[in-house]
Amino acid sequence: MNHAPQIRKAEITGPFQTTIEWSTGETFVTDLRSTIGPKREGDPFVALHDPAIFAQAQSDDWGDGLSWPGGLDLGADLLYSLGRQQAGLPTREDFAAWMERNQLSLSLAAQAIGMTRRMIAYYKSGARPIPKTVWLACIGYESLQHEAA
């Protein structure tokens, strides 16, 4: 089940760059250069190296991704994660990796950082953005665990 926030507005703001307003209230300037990759013959994304084609990006009707002519698209989950990562904010992948590294279930993670199990599930699934304060609590927990070991 896809829990990614939805795109409210997307605008091309430079080569390989888009500014996306999300249903969470966040706005990220996201560089898609690494996602599109180098220009290689036969790669379906090679067309996006043409600035005129890249500029034709449109959010789909439901805000679930960006689409370009020729059936090229990138999903909202990838775009949101990339935007948060480039802004220096934690992603759901970071959160899930933290839980795995520390062998924490939803309940144990909630107990570890003083949150409800439901909020931990939201953060892990990507249904809610992970606040910087929560991520700092995760880092602190991990640091204390390493000191105790």
Tell me the three state secondary structure of residue 141: helix
List, by residue range, all CATH 1.10.260.40 domains of the chain: 92-148
List, by residue range, all CATH 3.30.2020.10 domains of the chain: 7-86
Pick the CATH number of 92-148 from 3.40.50.300, 3.60.20.40, 1.10.260.40, 3.30.390.30: 1.10.260.40
Alpha helices in 33-116 (DSSP H): 33-36, 51-54, 76-86, 92-101, 106-113
The 10s digit of each residue's pLDDT in 14-34 is 989 999 999 999 999 999 998
The 10s digit of each residue's pLDDT in 93-121 is 999 999 999 999 999 999 999 999 999 99
Q: Cα–chain-centroid distance for residue 93?
A: 8
Q: What is the pLDDT of residue 33?
A: 92
Return the biggest CA–CA distance within the chain.
56
Fold of 7-86: NE0471 N-terminal domain-like (3.30.2020)
The 10s digit of each residue's pLDDT in 30-88 is 999 988 888 888 788 888 989 999 999 999 889 999 999 888 999 999 999 999 999 99
Q: Rounded to two decimals, what is the model's pTM?
A: 0.82
pLDDT higher than 70, residue 1: no
